[in-house]
Amino acid sequence: MTNHAPHATQPDIIMRLKRANGHPLSVIEMIEAERPYIDIAQQLHAVEKAITQAKHTLFQDHIDHYLNAAMAGAGSDGATATAEFKAITKYPMRKAHALCPC
């Protein structure tokens, strides 16, 4: 794929992933300490949500960026935009229906 300039949402994505970064280790510690399963489940949910939100933000930004470039008549970049769009759609989003009013 191609290199790209940082997108506007990059700081948000990085923040979400940094937030999620420490959670798995704390979940392991909670399991080892035999903490209540409801507490463990809550932390696992927080990890999953942070990663899912980062993924959704990344996909949405990527799609918006490349479709805007293609729609702007970017010439040869239009082909690149289309290829990038096709490539990222290989990674399904859990809430794909949010992008499609079908």
Ranking 37-46, 52-61, 64-73 by mean pLDDT, the lowest is: 64-73
DSSP 3-state of 14: helix
pLDDT for 96 equals 47
Per-residue pLDDT tens digits for 52-64: 888 888 888 877 7
Q: Give the pLDDT mean for 14-27.
A: 87
Gap between the Cα atoms of 66 and 44, Å rounded = 33
Contact 31, 40 (CB under 8 A): yes
- Tokens 């008549």 belong to which residue? 73
Q: Which residues contact 13 (CB under 8 A, 6 or more apart)?
A: 54, 57, 58, 61
User: What is the structure's pLDDT at 101?
Assistant: 45
